[in-house]
């Protein structure tokens, strides 16, 4: 996909991160015991969670093949350690430490043992980064072993994993892979075989919007299911929803909404910091005697979305390095690659001389 073809991706990230922020703010309010309309909360929660995390796995898969072909397997995996595992490690410790030191501002109890168990027991929303790194590594191995017909074979395999995830294992880490790889594979298939022009028309947007509404009604209303009910219904619903978001993002990108695109570009920073921001907003509102659900939700959402942007601006202004990525592993990969090429050239020269 060309740069023009992917301009919409930042808009899709913006939509996705706003849904993530809403979901966590609403859940924080619910678990804090604030009175709210429970049926509305549960329906909205299940609707959002039926596709917003699959959307981010889909978006992550879009550039996998081009990155693999450009960097190769070793450098690709090393780069993801820098850009995924490093922020996972750093911000898990930072947020976890705040939760331990300020227990009165959270909805649960956390110990430093919980925080330092992050290598085998990811906490809170950071599980997404943990899962994404595992899926990147698995997909890199699969693509290296089976470059031919990769998208078809890997796509079918990932769908089978999704549909049988409840039968394969109850282990959380394994479930991270079985429940989300299908959407990463969908992103790969989309990048290789589907043209964005197919979703560019108003007819496509209206059709997908109606399919989204109908699909959500059938899933949550007619079938009385929720997002945790994995199966063919949840898979189809997520795919339809992602298709609608992609089409909507393509249309939004035509209006050149700079702030919206900025939200998308800043989605990682927002993701890493929004839970702390949302918790701080909820605690402050409680101190001010504001306990109404609507006020808590609206103010909490705005603060959780914008406060990380303010911190991001401050970090950039102060030129604080390594807050969201580190150059260590990718730098080592480059050194090893250059050393290997140098050694190979020397061997070739030696062979031709002999």
* Cα–Cα distance list, 132 to 18, 53, 139 (Å): 19, 11, 10
Q: What are phi and psi of 282, to 5 degrees?
A: -65, -45
CA–CA gap between residue 87 and residue 130 (Å, rounded): 10
- For residue 194, give every residue at least 6 positions away whose Cβ sits within 8 Å of its Cβ, in sequence order, or none: none
Q: What is the pTM of this model?
A: 0.91
3-state SS assignment for residue 5: coil
- Give φ, ψ of 278 to 5 degrees: -65, -40
Q: Nearest 5°: phi and psi at 101?
A: -80, -25
CB-CB contact of 205 with 249 (8 Å):
no
- Distance between CA 13 and CA 340 in Å, rounded? 37
* pLDDT per residue of the chain (354 residues) written in tens, 0 to 9: 555 568 899 999 999 999 999 999 999 999 998 999 999 999 999 999 999 999 999 999 999 999 999 988 888 988 999 999 999 999 999 999 998 888 766 776 788 888 989 999 999 999 999 999 999 999 999 999 988 889 899 999 999 999 999 888 889 999 999 999 999 999 999 999 998 989 999 999 999 999 999 999 999 999 999 999 999 999 999 999 999 999 999 999 999 999 999 999 999 999 999 999 999 999 999 999 999 999 999 999 999 999 999 999 999 999 998 999 887 665 555 544 555 554 545 555 554 433
The DSSP code sequence of 199-267 is G-SHHHHHHHHHHHHHHHIIIIIIS---TT--SHHHHHHHHHHHHHHHHHHHHHHTTT-HHHHHHHHTH
Q: What is the 3-state secondary structure (H, E, C) of 127-163?
A: HHHHHHHHHHHHHHHHHHHCCCCHHHHHHHHHHHHHH
């Amino acid at each position: 996909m060309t740069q023009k073809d992917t301009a919409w991706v930042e808009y899709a990230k913006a939509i996705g991160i706003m849904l993530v922020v809403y979901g966590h703010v609403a859940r924080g309010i619910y678990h804090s015991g604030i009175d709210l309309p429970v049926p509305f909360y549960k329906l909205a929660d299940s609707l959002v969670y039926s596709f917003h995390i699959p959307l981010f796995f889909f978006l992550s898969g879009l550039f996998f093949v081009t990155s693999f072909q450009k960097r190769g397997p070793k450098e690709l995996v090393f780069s993801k350690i820098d850009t995924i595992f490093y922020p996972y490690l750093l911000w898990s410790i930072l947020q976890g430490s705040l939760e331990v030191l300020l227990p009165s501002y959270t909805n649960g109890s956390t110990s430093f043992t919980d925080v330092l168990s992050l290598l085998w027991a990811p906490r809170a929303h950071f599980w997404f980064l943990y899962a994404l790194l595992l899926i990147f590594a698995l997909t890199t191995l699969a693509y290296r072993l089976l470059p031919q017909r990769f998208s078809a074979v890997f796509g079918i395999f990932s769908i089978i994993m999704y549909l049988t995830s409840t039968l394969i294992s109850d282990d959380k880490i394994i479930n991270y892979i079985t429940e989300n790889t299908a959407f990463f594979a969908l992103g790969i298939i989309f990048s290789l075989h589907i043209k964005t022009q197919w979703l560019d028309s108003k007819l496509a947007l209206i059709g997908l919007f109606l399919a989204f509404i109908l699909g959500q009604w059938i899933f949550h209303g007619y079938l009385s299911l929720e997002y945790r009910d994995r199966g063919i219904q949840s898979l189809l619903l997520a795919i339809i929803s992602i298709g609608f978001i992609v089409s909507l993002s393509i249309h939004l990108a035509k209006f050149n909404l700079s702030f919206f695109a900025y939200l998308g570009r800043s989605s990682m920073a927002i993701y890493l910091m929004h839970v702390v921001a949302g918790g701080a907003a909820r605690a402050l509102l409680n101190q001010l005697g504001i306990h109404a659900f609507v006020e808590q939700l609206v103010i909490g959402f705005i603060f959780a979305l914008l406060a990380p942007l303010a911190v991001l601006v401050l970090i950039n202004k102060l030129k604080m390095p390594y807050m969201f990525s580190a150059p260590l592993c990718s730098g080592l990969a480059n050194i090893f690659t250059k050393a290997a090429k140098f050694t190979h050239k020397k061997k070739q020269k030696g062979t031709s001389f002999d």
